[in-house]
Amino acid sequence: MSVETPERPIARAVAEGRMPGRVWMYANYHCNIQCTYCLTESGPKVTQRALSPETMIAVGEQAKELGFTDLGVTGGETFLMPHMPDTLARLADELPVVALTNGTLFSRRLLEKVEPLAERDVALQISLDRPDADVNDEMRAPDNFRKVVAAVPALVERGITVRIATTVESIEDNELDRLCALHRDLGVPDSEHIIRPIVRRGRADTENLGVTAVQSDLPAELTITDDGAFWGPFGPTVHDDRLDTDLLVTRTTLPLETPARALLGLLEGRPDGDDSALNIR
Amino acid sequence: MTTIERVELDQVPLLARPYFADGDPGPIVRALAQVPELLTVALPFIGAALAPSAIGFRAKEIVIVRTSALAGCRFCVETHAVVALDAGLSPAHVAALRTPGPVPDGLFGDPAEEALLGWVDVVGGGGPVSDEERAAILRHWDHHEIVELTTVVGATLMLNRFATALALPTSPDALERLEKEGLR
Ligand code: SF4
């Protein structure tokens, strides 16, 4: 007698490379700073649009059950959510996690709280755009550079995996060399440094910055927000205080299978070879 | 006036895009597109229920205009009054359908259409449906036709409440045609 294996279309699509393995969550939309190129127009006074820790954990559990391989947590500034250290640890029980942060809130107290993440499969991805404080801070916030170069080694010393994300319109070779020397000095190897373009959505669009990206340029990583599920983390942007819906997949987020199947349907309907060349990630 | 947002044409969600391929699909689709997973199941149903099928265009429009008038839905009455004219109903027919209450004697002249109107008034008006009323419609329409016509009443009522609650605007083209036909 043969036992039928239940069909797992998402797991199969992920395993066969037809669907990205990572599920992103927008933990919140508010931020302690206000970068010029921010996709979500984040700042201290914006609507929080926060996911509850319970929802985030349910997304993590269901992502694993469905066959996804990785989790991502972004915002807003994720560490404005007091539950974040615990939630990241809990999510890492399910799947490897990368959490994005601007790296400016790592007081001694927060460092203590995140220390247990050293034992878990959690990486913190911190933004650092330029090797010089004044140029870096121009697009981000006063004192941003100083706080980041203090936070990164403090996290690395505690055994936490740190990744550096550099978001720029363009960067001279010489400046990039100095930036790479800096991140190595801070304890972050080249393998943990990513460079990506500014995407012209949200505040970047208002400021006339970055590259125009269409659906096929953007990674189709299922992205869960308080307002619905989107085609990738560059989907649920905010412009003129209004959430963009052009990359909305479904309003339903849980059960995760609903948006996951809808996203897979969209991917399967996409013409062959319709892939991005913009290195947006 | 407070209105509920409908998606802008540059903000159409991915699953909803096929419904916008030929341009602005109108306020019902633009409102439903806010919830794409609802749109993609609702529209095929609405299309199957309201478009001509085994039941002809004219009979369906009789049901839709009359049901909408009973429900007091300005948007659906105005929009479908125009469609009803295209389906071969006269301005006098449309005016009678739009006015709840008895239609002038002999206006429709077809016992099947008159029985249909009686059925719509009973179903769309709410409350119980008597055995005599079921028997009256069965004298002119087959069982499967009654199932379908009753579904048309139900689907129309759903849209009536949707359009009224969301204050959907009638298209200027429809209003202009009604004006021309003396139906405004
Ligand atoms: S880019 Fe990141 S750090 Fe900057 S305002 Fe937006 S959410 Fe905050």
Average pLDDT over residues A89-96: 98
Percent of chain A at pLDDT > 90 equals 93
User: A56 vs chain B: nearest CA distance in angstroms?
Assistant: 22
A31 lines ligand 1 (CB under 6 A): yes
- Residue A66 sits in a domain whose CATH number is 3.20.20.70
pLDDT of residue B148: 98
Q: Is the CB of A102 inside a 6 Å radius of any atom of ligand 1?
A: yes
- Measured between beta carbons, the chain B residues lying within 8 angstroms of A231 are 14
Q: What is the pLDDT of residues B8-20, one digit of tens each?
A: 999 999 999 999 9
How far off is chain A from B136, nearest CA to CA, in Å? 45
- From chain B residues 38-67, the ones with a CB under 8 A of any chain A CB are 38
* Residue A153 is assigned to a structural domain of this protein: yes
Place of tokens 């699509």: A13
**pLDDT confidence bin for B1, thresholds 50/70/90:** confident
Which helix H or strand E contains A259, and what residues bound it? helix A257-268
Domain count, chain A: 1
Each residue's pLDDT tens digit, A7-43? 899 999 999 999 999 999 999 999 999 999 999 999 9
Q: Which of B5, B30, B37, B41 should one mutate to test binding to chain A, selecting the residue with the greatest count of A CBs within 10 A?
A: B37
- For A199, the token pair is 């995407």
The one-character DSSP state at A7 is: P
Give the tokens for residue B85: 């004219």
pLDDT at residue A275 greater than cutoff 60: no
- How many whole angstroms from A123 Cα to the centroid of ligand 1? 18
| Residue A274 buriedness (CB in 10 A; 0-12 / 13-18 / 19+) | exposed
Q: Is the pLDDT of residue A278 over 70?
A: no
A129 in a structural domain: yes
Lowest average pLDDT, out of A2-6, A28-32, B49-53, goes to A2-6
A141 Cα nearest atom in ligand 1: 4
Distances (CA, A) of A199 to A40, A167, B142: 11, 9, 60
Contact B10 A245 (CB under 8 A): no
Tens-digit pLDDT profile for residues B110-145: 999 999 999 999 999 999 999 999 999 999 999 999
Reduce the DSSP state of residue A22 to 3 states and report it: strand
A144 ligand 1 Cβ < 6 A: no
Chain pair A-B, CB pairs under 8 angstroms: 37
**SS3 label, residue A229:** strand
- Give the span between the Cα atoms of A127 and A166, in whole angstroms: 6
Is pLDDT of A201 > 70?
A: yes
| CB contact at 8 A, A19 and A267 | yes
Residue A141 in any domain: the answer is yes
Q: Residue A29 domain-assigned? A: yes
How many whole angstroms separate alpha carbon B52 and alpha carbon B69? 20
Q: By residue range, what is the domain housing residue A48?
A: 25-262
Question: What does each C-alpha distance from A270 to A73, A120, A223, A267, B115 come to in angstroms?
Answer: 27, 37, 18, 5, 50
Arithmetic mean of pLDDT, A203-218: 95
**Cβ atoms A130, A183 nearer than 8 A:** no
Helical axes B143-165 vs B131-138, angle rounded to 10°? 110
User: For position A272, what pLDDT does the model report?
Assistant: 59
| Residue A238 domain-assigned (yes or no) | yes
What structural domains and CATH numbers belong to chain B? 9-50 (no CATH), 57-180 (1.20.1290.10)
- The pLDDT tens digits of the residues spanning A136-176 come to 999 999 999 999 999 999 999 999 999 999 999 999 999 99
- Whole-structure pTM over 0.90, yes or no? yes
Q: A106 in a domain, yes or no? A: yes
In a domain, A20, yes or no: no
* SS3 (DSSP) at B71: coil
Establish if A102 belongs to a structural domain. yes
> pLDDT at position B43, please?
97
pLDDT digits over A227-272, tens only? 999 999 999 999 999 999 999 999 999 999 999 999 999 999 876 5
Residue type, A234: F
Confidence of residue A110 (pLDDT cuts 50, 70, 90): very high
pLDDT of residue A2: 47
B7 close contact with A: CB closer than 8 A: yes
Prediction ipTM score: 0.91
* CB-based contact B82:B174 (threshold 8 Å): yes
> How much of chain B, in percent, has pLDDT values that exceed 90?
97
Q: Are strands A248-250 and A228-231 parallel, antiparallel or unpaired?
A: antiparallel
Asked if residues A110 and A78 have their Cβ atoms less than 8 Å apart, the reply is: no
Q: Which residues of A218-246 are buried (b: 16+ CB within 10 A; e: fewer)?
A: bbbbbbbbbbbbbbbbbbbbbbeeebbbb
Per-residue pLDDT tens for B73-82?
999 999 999 9
